[in-house]
Structure 1
Amino acid sequence: MTDASPTIVLLTEQALTPGDAARITAFHADDSPAYRVVVPADTERSLLVDVLDHLSLLELREALDAVRGRDDDAGDRAAAGQALAATLAELKAVGVEATGEVVAGDPVDTLAAQIATTGATEVVVVTRLHAVEDTFHTDWASRARERLGVPVLHVYAGSSWVG
């Protein structure tokens, strides 16, 4: 048996709030895990799915913005970098060890690689509510549960909801 603390890989599509960081780290406060944060730079979401997600939440302005679209890879990478920095700061503010990176490609592939590299014992996926993906189990957490062989917790950003 080793004295090394466990590693938890945390995949998030946006910066954690102070409340998110406190709720997520409370699950394993007694284990003192290290957190490895990954933020995808290119989520490549479907226009139709984005519009339906926003409409299902009565977010009419956001649905219109999704229809107008944008294609700004440099902006996506910069936003992901800001989300990573803010997330690391929030995790460190609640007293946990955290490192991370902005990643490209399929987030579930990234999770598999992180588990292989770090020996992580659990994955936490933090997303906004995505009605279509969540309903049809095509969201990152559902795909990770099917593939990774470690526990996967899906937390909705800014809330105490667990998926």
Structure 2
Amino acid sequence: MYDVVLLVEQELSEPDAKRVVELHDDMPEPVNYHVLVPCHNAEAGVEASISALGTADLYGPGLAGQREDLAEAQKAIDSEAKGCTGRSVERLRDLGQHAEGGISHDRPIDALIATVKHVQGQEVIILTRQHVVAEFFHLDWTNSARRHLGVPVLHLLEQDPQKTAAS
């Protein structure tokens, strides 16, 4: 079994799923895809934003009363991420592939490294929208993954489903 870890920024579209599978058409052994979807941590995001504004001393205590709202927001975020993962896995399975998936609240690169180690991944595919500034400064997921992993890392840009349908 050849294990490929897919780090996706959003749900894998049909054209992107086909493109990923086509990359491995000539593999002599079966391919197992592991879809990883990073999931935003609502509470940490709010706290980081308040700290970045330098207003933590003004609003920090106020967060205690917001815990319930943040927990509800986190449930909604987790639900969406799980749905995204499930639909992405299903698209790969519809193409006759072995696939599984999960979400992570860790930093995307930390989650990717852990997943590659856990499944003994032999290849990583990172599928994102274009991030010009991050890519220019080599701060994007792909460059980080290449620095931390000893396996091939391929960066694919998501295809716009509307443009693909028009072609």
TM-score, normalising length from structure 1?
A: 0.74
Root-mean-square deviation (Å): 1.9
- Name the structure 2 match of 1:9: 5
The aligned amino acid for 1:20 is D
1:81-160 matches, within 5 Å, as 81-158=82-159
Q: Distance in 2 between matches of 1:134 and 1:81?
A: 27
Q: Distance in 2 between matches of 1:117 and 1:16?
A: 22
The aligned amino acid for 2:35 is V
Q: In percent, how many aligned pairs have the same letter? A: 33
* Greater displacement, 139-148 / 107-116: 107-116
- Name the structure 1 match of 2:77: 76
User: Structure 1: 5+ residue runs without aligned partners?
Assistant: 48-70
Q: Distance in 2 between matches of 1:156 and 1:75?
A: 27
Q: Distance in 2 between matches of 1:92 and 1:152?
A: 22
SS of equivalent to 2:100: strand
Q: Distance in 1 between matches of 2:26 and 2:127?
A: 21
Q: Distance in 2 between matches of 1:23 and 1:82?
A: 21
Which residue, 24, 30, 33 being the options, matches 2:31?
33
Between Structure 1 and Structure 2, the one with more helix by share is 2
Deviating above 6 A after TM superposition, structure 1's stretches of 4 or more consecutive aligned residues are: none
TM-score, normalising length from structure 2?
A: 0.72
Cα shift readout 1:82-112 (whole Å, capped 9, x = no counterpart): 2101101111111110001111111111111
Q: Distance in 2 between matches of 1:34 and 1:154?
A: 18
Cα shift readout 1:116-161 (whole Å, capped 9, x = no counterpart): 11111000011111122122111111100111111101111125xx
The aligned amino acid for 2:18 is A
Deviation of 1:73 after TM superposition, in Å, equals: 2.9
